[in-house]
A and B are shown apart, each in its own frame.
Chain A
């Protein structure tokens, strides 16, 4: 049984903001299916009552003093932008 369908792959690509061709959707369906099938071996393990580990160190809520510091100069920050105008990042129109 396949774990993931081509329609699901297209949906995931949309969520990930990746344009994919019909051909790529086909290939990704096969490859993701075999990777997910492989990953399902984890189901052999009983993890009832096991706490998840998101982070290995025993540190949480690392805070610093709430004090403003200087950021990077605007022209520096815009230096790598593909397009900018009036000190802002510029993108194509959002509304039709």
Chain B
């Protein structure tokens, strides 16, 4: 039994009773990483020296009367697009292979305040562009449940590390499903909060109007605690919202009597595997038995979300990634004749294929003569997609469906055709376009691979999502199962 099979509250008690030391927690991480990460390949960089030193400092504090929060001493892994001062941050890209950030992301500062211990940085699709972590510039992370399959993406390292018991929890980022889909594939809990709930300062930008950091945990309860610690307005991010952060944990009452669930018919239609549908219907039955009611609803513009997303996210990415030019940081080509040549060769040599493809698509969609036809058109369709959600939320508390249309697929299976890979995100993308929060919680297995139930809420109503997810989790045992690594 691993210490990380326990909930954070239990570990907190053990620390206080001095039955477990902070060093024990940190060593549990490094021991497990030594055992399994050769197979899983979730970590890009380990923070061993500093983590052990922090553990020693916290150990002293543990013996004092100073107050210690719940996250005190807990080992965490961070997706490698979250900048960490003095700890290499690559965003999964060769162009940032040796990048040593000079400041911390706001979430990292908040975790430092909460006194968690950063174990290391986790693999991801390059600049978060992908659904399988196969687009990493460095290594292919494996799904702990089946090493032949992908962990999902782009936060594949973050989900795999938690599933494999290498850390208690982690942070990922979600632009079109990149926290929820890997959480579903790896059988863990992943939350994409409302856009604006968490500061994006220090999150290496992919698509600024869609990106959001999110916690990945083994339990819903830990997820709620972790979100509470990192949420809230930040003067360094003008898109972080001036909205009060409630106590998410207080919403975990187990009571969902009278809750109204909308189930979009588009989310159980074509392309969604039979076993996935069945697991969602079973989950709905379970929620019904707990007093909720559900009805079929429609999000009529769902089928346009994928195209809208790729136009908008690639357009934003093409602008955001213009900063990687070989001048201020990152890789620089040794073969440049002049400045333009330096830009072009640096970027050609530093970026991987998927990143180049999206920069090209975005540049095209924003270019003179095409802007109205592609970019602006997609922005208008985004309005319609957002309105779909608003309409349903007039009459329902949450929207429920699968997180992904299938369980984890085989490594290499979808890399040849970009559109096939993109289709994998069809159920998560609309949520980012609308900016609403959504969570994936384990809801079954198909051929030994985990499945995820997606629960979508109203803007800034993560509370109701947590309440539903927690009630479901407490009445099922999918989350208790562990991969045999």
Q: A-side interface residues toward B, CB under 8 Å?
A: 4, 8-9, 12-20, 28, 31-32, 34-36, 38-43, 45, 47, 50-57, 59, 62, 64, 72, 76-77, 79-83, 89, 91-94, 96
Contact = CB atoms under 8 A, between A and B. Distances in A.
The 8 A-B pairs at the shortest CB distance, nearest first, are namely: A56-B435, A52-B379, A82-B332, A80-B329, A62-B238, A19-B348, A47-B380, A19-B344
Given A15-B367, A28-B357, A41-B307, A56 B434 contact: yes
Nearest to B322: A17
B94 interface: no
A96 B338 contact: yes
A58 B311 CA distance: 22
B221 interface: no
A64 to B, nearest CB: 6
B239 A47 contact: no
Given A35-B310, A43-B377, A52-B383, A81 B361 contact: no
Nearest to A80: B329
Nearest to B243: A57
A28 B354 CA distance: 11
Interface of B: 98-100, 102-103, 195-196, 209, 235, 238-239, 241-242, 301, 303-304, 306-308, 310-311, 318, 322, 325-332, 336-345, 347-348, 351, 356-357, 359-361, 363-364, 367, 374, 376-384, 386, 418-419, 434-435, 459
Contacts of A76: 102
Contacts of A35: 310, 361, 418-419
B419 A91 contact: no
11 contacts: A17-B325, A17-B347, A31-B418, A35-B310, A39-B310, A39-B378, A42-B308, A47-B377, A57-B241, A80-B100, A92-B341
Contact of A42 (B307, B329, B367): B307
Contacts of A41: 303-304, 307
Nearest to B375: A52
Contact of A18 (B356, B382, B418): B356
Contact of A31 (B301, B344, B357): B357
A91 B325 CA distance: 11
A51 B383 contact: yes
A92 B345 CA distance: 13
A19 B345 contact: yes
Nearest to B85: A76
A56 B195 contact: yes
A42 B377 contact: yes
A81 B100 CA distance: 10
Contacts of A92: 336-339, 341-342
A56 B419 contact: no
A38 B347 CA distance: 27
Nearest to B308: A42
Contacts of A93: 338-339
Nearest to A50: B380
Nearest to B423: A38
Nearest to B382: A53
A82 B304 CA distance: 43
A4 B365 CA distance: 11
A9 B100 contact: no
Contacts of B381: 42, 45, 47
Nearest to B102: A76
Given A17-B347, A45-B301, A89-B328, 20 more contacts: A16-B359, A17-B340, A19-B347, A20-B356, A28-B356, A32-B361, A34-B419, A38-B306, A42-B304, A42-B378, A47-B380, A47-B384, A57-B195, A59-B241, A62-B239, A72-B103, A80-B329, A81-B327, A92-B338, A92-B339
A16 B360 contact: yes
Contacts of A31: 357, 418
A8 B364 CA distance: 9
A81 B184 CA distance: 39
Contacts of A12: 360, 363-364, 367
A53 B377 CA distance: 10
Contacts of A79: 100, 102
Contacts of B361: 32, 35-36
Contact of B344 (A18, A54, A89): A18
Given A12-B360, A59-B241, A53 B379 contact: yes
Contacts of B100: 79-80
B100 to A, nearest CB: 6
